Amino acid sequence: MIPPSIPTDIQVFRARMAVPREELDDLLDAMAIMDEAPGSWENVDTGEAWIEAFGIDEDELYERAREMADIAESVDGRIHVAQIEALAREDWTESWKKFFHIIHVTDKITIRPIWEEYEASEGELVVDIEPGMSFGTGIHPTTQSCLKFLEQLSSVGGMLDSKVIDMGCGSGILSIAAHKLGYSEVEGYDYDPAAVKVSKGNAEHNGLTNKIPFDVADVTAPEPLPRGNVVVANILAVVLIDAAKAIAASVDKSKGQHALILSGILENQYEDVKAAYLAEGFVEKQSIQIGEWKSGLFL
């Protein structure tokens, strides 16, 4: 994905595939399994629709374009071609904004890009996001699964008294949602200082300046990690396995109620991640699979 704040001197490429308007939703659903799922663009006047992906590495974008075309063919049996073109800055800035729309992750949680107008209905929880350079627009299945688990846990009696630790906070999306769900304390950490900065900016966009401490922490570092009763870690499987001891130790079990949400895991990696955490004394309570991404709730 190409964030809006990327410097002007970097060349951005767009892969664009024309698709029948009536097939757009099915095709996007099928493409949700891609590492970076593409977005879409529609011309409401002409009825034209495209599936689009962006990148700064032209070869890598060709690969993604080929994958988009293969997936589309597997859905409708037709040959599809995605054209790659180099964009001028003003083009891709607008394209990016068209790519990231309002997302209703659950009946309650909605993600709003800060440049889109939206009127929330009563009881709806809206998280305003400007993703900057960081992961976490709410489009990705791993983020969505974490949001679903956080919402589900929030309705368990007494669970809102928890301190939530968001490991690998990216844009801060999970921390902000957790705060809005009503968890009593929330802290977010990422090993990338840029993500910490973006998270702080997003807290501000949500009127939560200084309400959620965000800081740098590396789950693979030797120092003990900050602790909380609810820990959510949407990081790659290999990192979750590597850091299983440290992440497991970051779950404070002293209150009697605790939870660990693990995400960022491909379906075929899930059993290995699960085994690493069962070895640390956790039990699997539930899992959610969206596309090829599988996330788990452990107690």
Ligand X SMILES: C[S@@+](CC[C@H](N)C(=O)[O-])C[C@H]1O[C@@H](n2cnc3c(N)ncnc32)[C@H](O)[C@@H]1O
- Contact residues for ligand X, defined by CB under 6 A: 134-136, 142-143, 146, 167-170, 173-174, 190-192, 195, 218-220, 234-235, 239, 264
- Least Å distance, CB 265 to ligand X, is 10
| DSSP state for residue 133 in the 8-state scheme | T
Structure tokens at 51: 């599936």
For 192, residues 6+ apart whose C-beta sits below 8 A from its C-beta are: 134, 216
- Least Å distance, CB 170 to ligand X, is 3
CA pair distance 260, 149, nearest whole angstrom: 10
- Least Å distance, CB 8 to ligand X, is 24
- Least Å distance, CB 129 to ligand X, is 9
Q: By C-beta, is 24 or 133 nearer to ligand X? A: 133
- Least Å distance, CB 192 to ligand X, is 4
Relative orientation angle of helices 24-31 and 58-76, to the nearest 10 degrees: 120
Count the residues in the chain: 299
Q: By C-beta, is 187 or 190 nearer to ligand X? A: 190
Question: In Å, how far are 131, 202, 220, 280 from 225, measured between CA atoms?
Answer: 25, 23, 9, 16
Q: Can you give the C-alpha Rg of the chain in angstroms?
A: 19
Residue 36 burial (CB < 10 Å; 0-12/13-18/19+)? middle
- Least Å distance, CB 145 to ligand X, is 9
Dihedral (Cα; 220, 237, 100, 206), 10-degree rounding: -40
